[in-house]
A and B are shown apart, each in its own frame.
Chain A
Amino acid sequence: MENETILEVNEKDGLLIHQGVIRVPYTWAAGAVASKFYVGLRNRKIYGVRCPTCRIVLVPPKKTCHRCFGELNEWVEVSDEGTLQTFTVVHYHEPELHPLKAPFAYGIIKLDGADTGMTHLIAEADLKALKEGMRVKAVFKEKPGGNYLDIKYFKPVKGEK
C-alpha cells in the first residue's frame, strides 16, 4: 500500500493544505463476557449478567458493575422483546457509518428481564409512528458474524403501529 499521508496538496491564500488518509488496521479481543454474549446470539438467545449487590440485570453484559465495582458472573437469559425507552429518526446520510439508509431510527430498548437499556437500530417500522414505551422485538441475522449486528435491528411487536 502506498504512503497515504499526503494524497493531495491544495493552496489557499499562499498557504498549503495537505490532504491525506490514515488507515490503521486493529485487532480487538472481545473478551470472555462479550464472547459469551455473541455465542448466545448464534442460538438466538440474549444473555445478560445480574449484579447480586445492586440487584440489576445488565444487557449487554460486562465484566464489572459500574455502581458497586463487583465482578459480574451470574448469567441470565432475557427476553428478545422489550420496551422502547427513547429513539431518534436520523435524516442525514453517512454511508460509511450507517448500517441502514436514512431515514432510519436508533433507539434504546429495555428488554424484558433487563434493567439497563440496549442501544440499537429500529426498522420494519412506520418511523412516524414510533413512540416511547412501544413494544419491540429483536430480529436476528440469518448468518451470525459474532458482532453487535447479529441482532439486525428491533421491530415493533405486532399490534403496535
Chain B
Amino acid sequence: MERIAVVGVGQTKYERGKTKNFAELVYEVTRKALDDAGMEPGDIDNVVTTTNDFFDGRTIACMAVAEAAGSYGRDATNVEGDGTLSAFYGLMRTLSGVYHTTMVTTHCKVSEGSPRKIFNQAFDPIYDRLLGMDAISSSALQARAYMHRYGITEEQCAKVSVKNHGNARNNPYAHVALDITVEDVMKSPMLADPIKRLDTSPISDGACAIILATEEKAKKAAKKPVWIRGVAHCTDAYRLGERDLTHSLALETAAKKAYRMAGIADPLREIDVAEVYDAFSYMELMWYEGLGFCGQGEGGRLIDGGETQMGGKLPVNPSGGVLSAHSVQVAGLARIAEAVLQLRGEAGRRQVPGAKMALAHGVTGICAQTHCVWVLSN
C-alpha cells in the first residue's frame, strides 16, 4: 500500500448535554485538526463526514453538517457508522490517486435523542424489534454467553472498568473519570445481569476529526506524520442467534488482515499501545482475544496479570476508552486520534513512553457486528 499518514487530529471534550450544536462541534474539531496539521481548508481535497439521522433527528444530516467540515465547493461524502469506518473510506479515497488530502469528521450528541429507543430501531422491524431490546440488554446476552463459556468472572470485567475509568483521570477529553474499586463496580446497580451501571459507558456528546494525506502532502504538514501500516474491516451475521456471541470472528478476521499488512506476528509484544472500543467492560476482554493479545477465553487472565494497565506490556485504553466517553459515532475515530497522540508523544499524562506501534479499533452494530482494526506507527 502507498504510504498514507494521519497528519492532523482534533477532539472536543466529551460530556453530556453539550450546548454547542452539531455544526458548532464539527467546526471546532475541523479547525483543531487543520491547526494541528498546519493546513487551511484550501489544502483539503475532499471531506468525509459521519452521521446517523436518528441521533441527529434530521434526514440527510450529512449535508447539513458538511459545511462545518469545510465542504463548500469540494467533494463531500458521508458514512453512517463508526468513525473508524469513515476513516477507512477516507483512506481509500486518499489512496485512489484522485485526492491527496481527506478531512474525516464525526459528531454525535447522544444526550439529545432517546438512546435506548434509537438503539432499539437497529433491530428488525419485521421480527425482534418488538422485544424492546437496546444496547444494554442485547449486550448482556453476549456478556453472559462469553462469560459462561470461558468462566470469565464479573470481577474480571469490573477490573476493566476500574482500569479505564482510572486512566480517564489523565485524559482532559474524557467524560467520566473515576477512582473506583472492583467492589464499587460490583455494588453498582444491576441493569441487565451481568451488566451493572459501572460496566457501561456514559451518554456523551462530542466530535472528532482527523486529516489523512499522501506521503508527499504529509511531509509538508506541521507535525511528524503518523503512518497507517495496516487496516481491515470485517462484518459478522446480523442476527445475534446466528453468530458465535462468545468469540468475534469478524474481529479475528479484521485483526489478522491488518497485522499481515503491518507485518505484525506477535501483537502483544510488537504493539506498544492499544485503544479499543470498550462500550461495556466485558467487551474489552473479548476484544483482547479477537485482537490476538491472548488466546481464546484468556481475556480474564490477561487483565488479572496487569499486562494491559499503564506500565504493563501492552497498555489498553490509556485515554480511559469508551467506558469513560461514549459519543457513539465518534468513539472509534477518537481511538485513532488517541493512537496518533501516543505515537507523537503528545498524550500528556496518559502517554505510554516511547510508543512506536499503536492499534486503534472501532465497532458498529448490535453486539459489535462489525469491527475495524487500524495499526499505526511513527
Contact = CB atoms under 8 A, between A and B. Distances in A.
B284 interface: no
* 5 A-B pairs with least C-beta separation: A117-B241, A88-B140, A97-B132, A86-B145, A98-B132
Given A86-B148, A97-B116, A106-B192, 8 more contacts: A86-B245, A90-B192, A91-B189, A108-B145, A108-B245, A119-B239, A119-B240, A147-B130
Contact of B137 (A26, A88, A110): A88
A92 B191 contact: yes
Interface in B178-203: 189-195
Contact of A119 (B117, B133, B194): B133
A98 B129 CA distance: 10
A58 interface: yes
Given A28-B126, A66-B237, A97-B120, A108 B242 contact: no
Given A91-B191, A99-B131, A15 B120 contact: no
Contact of B132 (A30, A99, A116): A99
Contacts of A107: 141
Given A34-B126, A89-B192, A116 B141 contact: no
A90 B132 CA distance: 11
B133 A85 contact: no
A148 B193 CA distance: 24
Q: How large is the interface on B (under 10, 10 to 19, 20 to 34, 35 or more residues)?
A: 35 or more
A108 B131 contact: no
Contacts of B130: 99, 147-149
Given A91-B192, A92-B192, A148-B130, A119 B141 contact: yes
Secondary structure type dominating chain A contacts: mixed
Q: How large is the interface on A (under 10, 10 to 19, 20 to 34, 35 or more residues)?
A: 35 or more
A36 interface: no
A15 B17 CA distance: 12
B128 A119 contact: yes
A66 B242 contact: yes
A98 B126 CA distance: 17
A94 B242 contact: no
Given A86-B245, A88-B193, A132 B128 contact: no
Contacts of B190: 91
A108 B145 CA distance: 10
A90 B128 CA distance: 16
A121 B148 contact: no
B238 interface: yes
27 contacts: A17-B19, A22-B57, A26-B125, A30-B126, A34-B126, A87-B144, A88-B137, A88-B141, A88-B143, A90-B137, A90-B140, A91-B193, A92-B191, A94-B116, A94-B134, A97-B116, A97-B132, A97-B134, A98-B132, A106-B192, A108-B245, A116-B239, A117-B241, A119-B133, A119-B241, A120-B128, A120-B131
Interface string B113-129: 00011001000011111
Interface in A89-144: 89-92, 94, 96-99, 106-108, 110, 116-121, 132
A153 to B, nearest CB: 10
